[in-house]
Structure 1
Amino acid sequence: MTAPRRRTTPSAVAGLPPGRRRRRRAAVLAGVAAGALALAVAGPAQAANDVVAPGTELYVDPHSSTVEAAAGLTGQARADALLLASVPTATWLTAGTPAEVQAAAADLVGDAALQGEVPTLVAYNLPFRDCAQYSAGGATSVAEYTAWVDALAAGIGDGAAVVVLEPDGLGIIPHYTPAGASEPEWCRPAEADPATAAADRFVMLNHAVDVLTVLPRTAVYLDGTHTGWLGVGDITDRLIQAGVERADGFFLNASNYQETPRLQKYAAWVAQCIDLSVSTWWEPAWCASQYYPATPSDFSTWGLTDDAYAQAYADTGRTPDPATMKHAVIDTSRNGQGPWTPPAGVYPDPEDWCNPPDRGLGLRPTTDTGDPYVDAFVWIKVPGESDGQCFRGLGGPLDPVRGMVDPPAGGWFPEQARELIALAVPPIAAPTCEVSYTVHGSWPGGFIAQVWVKNTGTTRIDGWDLEWTFGGDQTIREIWGADATQVGQRVTATSESWNTVIKPNRRTTFGFLGRGDPAQGLPPLQITLNGAPCTVP
């Protein structure tokens, strides 16, 4: 069944978000693989899914594109960006030479390993990605792509990582004719060879699966689309052709808005359809879906599809065991309010995927899903970044839904960020602390800084840990008014006995003497108090 197109809009280019301040390269992995990394991944020779076992800490990137956006904002827009930056979110690798993507991946994985955390990387560089639409770009040939993904794998190395492999990679295939169809789907770019484009897509994805799954601590997920798009049998057939049997599973809802309970049902059905199709005489085309026997718009009927799978297992004589099946990761970055329903008859092309109004953040990223078919809820799409300039079929330049010109794809969208936070389900707590960080003086190789911590909440703080990440190679030489520990670039300042309590609307302070150049990313923007983000004026 053909469903509406869904486009992705990464902000990262040339392999890294603009201005990313990285100082380490692949060599860092050798030093941390046996040490800090063990905090996140237990023991050698584990199955890749252990990378996202319950309790795994997902990485919060202190140099993310969201932090970059916050640096150029003020007031509420800045506070919103910093709040979103405090949540683990994927990093998109979208371009660059093999050397550049290898270095970018190594830096990200190495930095995360130092903190005992696991990053989520999005590989998004296939030729004709997004069918050359809003997020056009990517490699120009099979050879160029395979070299790029080989370098990505080399950059990850022995580090722990979750790889979301090519959003839209299976949902939008150039010149692809689905099983049982008589003609190719809508994506028919003139530059692609109709005779080889679809086969090339599967060749590239299979190669990516092979080079990434051989890594000892990398979990790899292929495009599983979502509940408003492909039926279960269609996506299962595509996943099998792409090598899902050798991957950890599939990802759902990338950059989209479908409700989590529906996606969990869909995840189970796709997992079961794969299992039946590769382990018995069953065919993907026979798999029940959200479209039949269920009614897609009536969630109360989806139990009929559950029953159909129970019957399929009975017919094949196979016992379903989720532990042996392929699992899903689900993007919950913008699905708190579910998908937008455009008003009927108003817009020639409503573009319901493109910066829809009044959406909210969904579940926070976690590997504690309580669902045997779902390894993690993750934020694949960077919430707050625009999907592109949306005209709704009316020619633009204004988005008629919003009465404004939307930012280009990947640009920061303050109005949308505010909506996502205000309408989040579950609600996201507003910051209850404010931190002022001032460099009072500097000299070659050193500086002195003072930090003020204010309680802007309604209850007193009794004991605190303030955490931030330096933007360069700075280290703390001496500190007063707090105790400090530093791992890599990340610093934790802990209260002393005399300033452990901060009453509402009161503040405390500490200072330190630092080594390094304060011009490198100081003052830091992403600061947390007892794990919760603070406002940084």
Structure 2
Amino acid sequence: MNFTRAARSPEFDTPTHHLQSIVDSKLSCPFIMHSLNMQALWALSPFLFSAARALPQASVTPTPSSSVPSSSAPAPTATAGGNPFEGYDLYVNPYYKSEVENIAIPSMTGSLAEKASAAANVPSFHWLDTADKVPQMGEFLEDIKSKNDAGANPPTAGIFVVYDLPDRDCAALASNGEYLISDGGVEKYKAYIDSIREQVEKYSDTQIILVIEPDSLANLVTNLNVEKCANAHDAYLECTNYALKQLNLPNVAMYLDAGHAGWLGWPANIGPAAELFASVYKDAGSPAAVRGLVTNVANYNAWSIDSCPSYTQGSEVCDEKTYINNFAPQLKSAGFDAHFIVDTGRNGNQPTGQSQWGDWCNVKNTGFGVRPTTDTGDELVDAFVWVKPGGESDGTSDSSAERYDAHCGYADALTPAPEAGTWFQAYFEQLVENANPSL
């Protein structure tokens, strides 16, 4: 049977495809993230884990907001060398700020409203999940340029997610993108990347930090027994290669999505993952603008935790710090000297309310985490960032809905929940109330 998930949420992780013959002899289903019968599988394999995903914003252009500092270092010239976050403030996502100020805060009072106002001004990445979002990227970059030209000190950097692969989210239930491989999707994706390159070149004096394609390469490590992923394998590699080459520009720093501890951190997966990511990096010519990898995107894992939660199923790699410090040496040995960023947008409250590590949808007992900063305490990690804007639903809890995923109706999911990507007021309030550090 196939494990499925809701739009832009966790992937399904199976043991690496190098062990596929072993896996197929045990069970004929792909691993994790989401399964309509996940509960029965936890007893069968330690390789069941999850990866939650961010839901991009609708195409709206509110008034751009000011940036929030992530570093107090002197302002450098935009460059792909070194830590690209050092010496920059990160741009506050105008769409997210508008959601919080115009939807969330009017129904909140007192200290909760004050904390929500603070959350609105935390920088979060803007998702370019369709080609029609790229012009909006240009609008944001124009605003950044205006601020920088006016003497912003530190200068502001733009932060975006490139997310429009053909047959996107190949192990997903209802999160397909706008392009199909069967309908010229590879060439359409290349045109999408070309349009992003045009914006980047137009604002060549602006530092731009890009997260590249959540829910893509990690699926090629664990989910090649899913037919759609097997069919997408070559297209994913070709498109990613094109993106890395085309966006290899002096004012760009890129981080490829690398799942999280509960996905690729298992012993059966981490070695093959290192080989795959290093191969992708080297096949693209080892681009100077590819700084490394991003982990925990839209997920809930702690950066560092003293005692592994029960839902991590006995894994010794139960936080992102351990995952990264296990992963980096293997990547380096394979030819990719990667640095990392970690999404801390929803990992502030530990442990979470998850019953199983593979439960990803609108999980209870979560909170906003550490605000974007370069003060990570780990030389491998350039910054903690908010890749997913917290408060947008992971998926609907309405079982009659076309895009319903069973995970969104589990006991550990906050309900009632609206459709994926829609503002979820109760969830936002939970994140605010449980924020750690407090807003």
Is the pair's TM-score, using the shorter chain for normalization, greater than 0.5?
A: yes
Pairing of 1:373-452 with structure 2 (within 5 A): 373-390=380-397, 400-401=411-412, 404-428=415-439
User: Aligned-pair distance for 1:7?
Assistant: 4.1
The SS at the match of 1:82 is: helix
The SS at the match of 1:172 is: helix
After superposition, the CA RMSD in angstroms is 3.0
* Partners of 2:186 and 2:422 in 1: CA distance: 29
* Partners of 1:355 and 1:339 in 2: CA distance: 15
The SS at the match of 1:388 is: coil
Pairing of 1:118-267 with structure 2 (within 5 A): 118-131=157-170, 132-140=172-180, 141-157=185-201, 158=204, 159-173=206-220, 185-189=224-228, 194=230, 197-213=232-248, 215-231=249-265, 232-243=270-281, 245-246=286-287, 247-261=290-304, 262-267=319-324
Query: Alpha carbons of 1:137 and 1:122: their partners in 2 closer, same or farther (altered >3 Å)?
Result: same
* Partners of 2:302 and 2:426 in 1: CA distance: 22
Query: Alpha carbons of 1:390 and 1:188: their partners in 2 closer, same or farther (altered >3 Å)?
Result: farther
The SS at the match of 1:412 is: coil
Q: Would the aligned equivalents of 1:385 and 1:411 in 2 still touch at CA under 8 Å?
A: yes
Q: Would the aligned equivalents of 2:100 and 2:120 in 1 still touch at CA under 8 Å?
A: no
User: Aligned-pair distance for 1:71?
Assistant: 1.3
Provide the TM-score with structure 2 as the length reference: 0.70
User: Aligned-pair distance for 1:107?
Assistant: 1.8
* Partners of 1:93 and 1:168 in 2: CA distance: 14
Match among 131, 135, 139 for residue 107 of structure 1: 139
User: Aligned-pair distance for 1:266?
Assistant: 2.0
Q: Show CA shifts across 1:500-526 (max 9, x none).
A: xxxxxxxxxxxxxxxxxxxxxxxxxxx
The alignment covers a number of residue pairs equal to 340
* Partners of 2:246 and 2:210 in 1: CA distance: 12
What corresponds to 2:60 in structure 1? Answer: 18
Q: Show CA shifts across 1:348-388 (max 9, x none).
A: xx961100101111111012323210111100011111111
User: Aligned-pair distance for 1:395?
Assistant: 6.0
Q: Would the aligned equivalents of 2:274 and 2:330 in 1 still touch at CA under 8 Å?
A: yes
Structure 1 spans left out of the alignment, 5+ residues? 23-38, 179-183, 280-324, 345-349, 429-537
What corresponds to 1:355 in structure 2? Answer: 362
Q: Would the aligned equivalents of 2:49 and 2:262 in 1 still touch at CA under 8 Å?
A: yes
Match among 343, 351, 360 for residue 331 of structure 1: 343
Say whether residues 1:72 and 2:103 are aligned partners.
yes
* Partners of 1:221 and 1:166 in 2: CA distance: 9
Provide the TM-score with structure 1 as the length reference: 0.58
Q: Would the aligned equivalents of 1:203 and 1:242 in 2 still touch at CA under 8 Å?
A: no
Query: Alpha carbons of 1:49 and 1:20: their partners in 2 closer, same or farther (altered >3 Å)?
Result: farther
Q: Which amino acid aligns with 2:102?
A: A
Pairing of 1:16-95 with structure 2 (within 5 A): 17-20=59-62, 42-43=76-77, 46-53=79-86, 55-61=87-93, 63-73=94-104, 74-76=106-108, 79=113, 81-95=116-130
Query: Alpha carbons of 1:156 and 1:81: their partners in 2 closer, same or farther (altered >3 Å)?
Result: farther
The SS at the match of 1:329 is: strand
Q: Show CA shifts across 1:144-199 (max 9, x none).
A: 111101211211221211100011121224xx7x6xxxxx635323xx7x5x5202
* Partners of 1:391 and 1:401 in 2: CA distance: 15
Q: Would the aligned equivalents of 1:384 and 1:414 in 2 still touch at CA under 8 Å?
A: yes
* Partners of 2:398 and 2:354 in 1: CA distance: 13
The SS at the match of 1:49 is: coil
* Greater helix share, structure number: 2
What corresponds to 1:340 in structure 2? Answer: 352
What corresponds to 2:21 in structure 1? Answer: none
Query: Alpha carbons of 1:242 and 1:420: their partners in 2 closer, same or farther (altered >3 Å)?
Result: same
* Partners of 2:329 and 2:335 in 1: CA distance: 10
* Partners of 1:254 and 1:92 in 2: CA distance: 12
Q: Would the aligned equivalents of 1:94 and 1:123 in 2 still touch at CA under 8 Å?
A: yes
Q: Would the aligned equivalents of 1:127 and 1:145 in 2 still touch at CA under 8 Å?
A: yes
The SS at the match of 1:340 is: coil
* Partners of 1:67 and 1:124 in 2: CA distance: 22
Q: Which amino acid aligns with 2:239?
A: M
Query: Alpha carbons of 1:104 and 1:275: their partners in 2 closer, same or farther (altered >3 Å)?
Result: same
The SS at the match of 1:235 is: helix
What corresponds to 2:325 in structure 1? Answer: 268
Q: Which amino acid aligns with 1:217?
A: N
Higher-RCO chain (CA-CA 8 Å, sequence separation at least 6): 2
User: Aligned-pair distance for 1:113?
Assistant: 3.3
* Partners of 2:359 and 2:392 in 1: CA distance: 16
User: Aligned-pair distance for 1:418?
Assistant: 1.4
Q: Would the aligned equivalents of 1:164 and 1:221 in 2 still touch at CA under 8 Å?
A: yes
The SS at the match of 1:269 is: helix
The SS at the match of 1:129 is: coil
* Partners of 1:186 and 1:4 in 2: CA distance: 16
Structure 2 spans left out of the alignment, 5+ residues? 1-14, 16-46, 65-72, 148-154, 305-318
Q: Show CA shifts across 1:416-440 (max 9, x none).
A: 1111121122222xxxxxxxxxxxx
Q: Would the aligned equivalents of 1:126 and 1:166 in 2 still touch at CA under 8 Å?
A: yes
Q: Would the aligned equivalents of 1:335 and 1:361 in 2 still touch at CA under 8 Å?
A: yes
Q: Would the aligned equivalents of 2:80 and 2:291 in 1 still touch at CA under 8 Å?
A: no
